[in-house]
């Protein structure tokens, strides 16, 4: 059941699963909750359920309707994102209203996903009320909003509201592990903690982090062999604003160092950056750098004070094979 993709929120998942099993989902559903608690995932699952035509459990996930729903190309699922200018104004709502009475194209039902309804102003809400008062039998409306209180009482009384909550960091980390199987567990746990269990924010951080982390790792690696200490100190201090980011950078640094050692040993299939960096540093020194980076990464797993860590990291990365410092 796709509902298991949603972290925590056991009660909501149970109620929805039961309604799906009995084929008795209400015609208008409002999902309220802050960003990242799984509202949109739930809305997508409800839409897939409504168009699925499997005999048994719905959504089956494999019938042509489910597949189209997952790809976002089902003609009977209309998604309107309220954050886009004018998407939920009166005129847009009137169009939705008239469209709702037209029979579905392919499926038995037609779904309107109205996302971020907190952007729908009262006049538009009043226009929407008319279709909620006499909803066509083949239509499912799924609204999402940060809070139900952003909608008029008249709307709230005609929709079934499900309240979702962000998962605990531990629960969020569990979900992130499924989504990012390649990322080290401590990076995922840290991302979950940094975002207070807000899965959407954690995903954003993990996704956008990739490029930034790579850039920072490269800048640090370039500064390690320089005679002056200051450029490296500047770089190491720039990554300690956030533990998840620092962990990500150290992770990239480990990969980079390992690639540089390989390149120095004549392995051809390494990144061009690693090949270039390895070119300027003797192998013996590269091996020392790699060992220093691995140790620095281990130290970060302990709950060290990040401010001290930046300065310590700089010295640690400059350590030579005899334990003294280069420079």
Q: What residue ranges bind Zn ion (CB under 5 A)?
A: 52, 54, 59-60, 63, 66
Which stretches of 22-63 are DSSP H helices?
39-51
Q: Which is nearer to Zn ion, 6 or 52 (CB)?
A: 52
Containing 56, the helix (H) or strand (E) segment is none
- Write down the least CB distance from residue 58 to Zn ion, Å: 6
Strand partners, 80: 114
List of residues 6+ apart from 19 with CB closer than 8 A: 25, 26
Question: Do residues 73 and 64 touch, judged by C-beta distance below 8 A?
Answer: no
Closer by beta carbon to Zn ion, 98 or else 105: 105
Percentages of the chain per state (helix, strand, coil), in multiples of 5: 55, 10, 35
Q: How far apart are CA 327 and CA 315, in angstroms?
A: 10
Q: How far is the CB of 48 from Zn ion (least distance, A)?
A: 7
* Sequential DSSP letters for 185-209: HHHHHHHHHHTTT-HHHHHHHHHHH
239 neighbors 289 (Cβ within 8 angstroms): no
Q: Which two tokens stand for residue 244?
A: 């998840």
Minimum distance from CB of 61 to Zn ion (Å)?
6
Closest CB to Zn ion among 104 and 310? 104
Cβ atoms of 36 and 42 closer than 8 Å: no
Map residue 141 onto helix, strand or coil: strand
CB of 32 vs Zn ion, minimal distance in Å: 27
In the complex, the smallest distance separating the C-beta of residue 161 from Zn ion, rounded to whole angstroms, is 26
CB of 59 to Zn ion, least distance (A): 5
Compare residues 66 and 120 and give the one whose CB is closer to Zn ion. 66
Measured torsion, CA atoms of residues 104, 105, 111, 115, in degrees rounded to the nearest 10:
-130
Nearer to Zn ion (CB atom), residue 59 or residue 82 = 59
Give the strand order in the sheet containing 77-81. 77-81, 110-115, 139-145, 28-32, 160-163
Minimum distance of Zn ion from residue 53's CB (angstroms): 6
Kindly tell me which of 31 and 66 has the beta carbon lying closer to Zn ion: 66
Residue where the block lists tokens 């450029």: 231
Nearer of residues 63 and 257 to Zn ion, judged by Cβ? 63
Of 54 and 299, the one with the shorter C-beta distance to Zn ion is 54
Q: CB–CB of 12/45 below 8 Å?
A: no
Q: Which of 204, 205, 201 is nearest to 35 (CA)?
A: 201
Distance in Å, CB of 60 to Zn ion, minimum: 4
């Amino acid at each position: 059941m796709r509902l298991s993709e949603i972290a925590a929120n056991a009660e909501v998942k149970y109620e929805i699963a039961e309604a799906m099993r009995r084929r008795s989902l209400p015609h208008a559903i409002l999902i309220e909750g802050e960003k990242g608690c799984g509202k949109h995932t739930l809305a997508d699952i409800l839409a897939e359920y409504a168009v699925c035509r499997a005999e048994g459990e719905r959504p089956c996930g494999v019938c042509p309707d489910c597949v189209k729903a997952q790809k976002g190309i089902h003609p009977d699922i209309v998604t309107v994102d309220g954050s886009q200018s004018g998407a939920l104004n009166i005129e847009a709502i009137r169009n939705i209203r008239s469209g709702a009475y037209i029979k579905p194209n392919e499926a038995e039902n037609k779904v309107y996903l109205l996302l971020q309804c907190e952007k729908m102003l009262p006049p538009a809400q009043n226009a929407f009320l008319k279709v909620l008062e006499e909803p066509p039998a083949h239509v499912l409306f799924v609204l999402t909003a940060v809070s139900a209180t952003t909608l008029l009482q008249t709307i709230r009384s005609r929709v079934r509201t499900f309240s979702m909550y962000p998962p605990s960091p531990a629960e969020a980390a569990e979900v992130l592990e499924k989504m990012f199987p390649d990322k080290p567990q401590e990076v995922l746990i840290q991302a979950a903690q940094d975002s207070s269990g807000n899965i959407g924010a954690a995903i954003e951080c993990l996704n956008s982090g990739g490029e930034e982390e790579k850039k920072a790792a490269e800048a640090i690696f370039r500064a390690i062999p320089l005679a002056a200490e200051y450029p490296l100190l500047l770089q190491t201090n720039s990554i300690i604003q956030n533990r998840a980011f620092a962990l990500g950078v150290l992770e990239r640094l480990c990969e980079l160092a390992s690639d540089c050692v390989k390149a120095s040993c004549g392995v051809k299939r390494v990144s061009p950056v690693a090949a270039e960096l390895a070119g300027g540093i003797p192998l013996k020194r590269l091996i020392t750098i790699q060992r220093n980076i691995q140790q620095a990464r281990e130290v970060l797993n302990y709950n060290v004070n990040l401010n001290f860590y930046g300065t310590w990291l700089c010295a640690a990365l400059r350590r030579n094979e005899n334990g003294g410092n280069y420079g």
